[in-house]
Amino acid sequence: MRAIIQRVSSASVTVESKTISEIQNGLLILLGIEDADGPEDIEWLSRKIVNLRIFNDSEGVMNESLKAVNGDAIVVSQFTLHAATKKGNRPSYIKASKPDVAIPLYEKFITQIELDLGKNVGTGVFGADMKVQLLNDGPVTIAIDTKNRE
């Protein structure tokens, strides 16, 4: 499971000209799922994201977590995070899970992060053509892969 997390001052997801999720201070989480992912990846990644100390404290030092600042989050499915670009110029997405595997894991991740954060989170629409707008704060952008947690 791969995630790109971006600390944002604001973010929104629009589908077919309708805004379906919108937040202010928090994280935009782009989530890529592969067949090897399971419940342990979901739990570890959710806890890591919610507790990652990337928000400024009163001294301006990145020392506070999403949970500590009571920030919001949007989770957007992003199969392109598993793009293989070693050969040629056209990315291959063979490692990205098909919807029958990815959708249940995506939904379980959303449920887990809501439990860990203690509030509802915004989402995208799986498989839809989404327009994601954000104002990256910092900028702070971090990539996390559950296969590299050791």
Q: HEC profile for 91-130?
A: CECCCECCHHHHHHHHHHHHHHHHHHHCCCCEECCCCCCE
Measured CA to CA, the distance from residue 114 to residue 135 in angstroms comes to 22
DSSP 1: -
Clarify whether 80 is annotated catalytic.
yes
Of 80, 123, 141, 146, the active-site residue reads 80
How far is CA 2 from each of CA 29, 78, 81, 126, rounded to the nearest angstrom?
10, 9, 7, 16
SS3 146: helix
Instruction: Say if CB 30 and CB 109 are below 8 A apart.
Output: no
User: Looking at the annotation, which residues are catalytic?
Assistant: 80
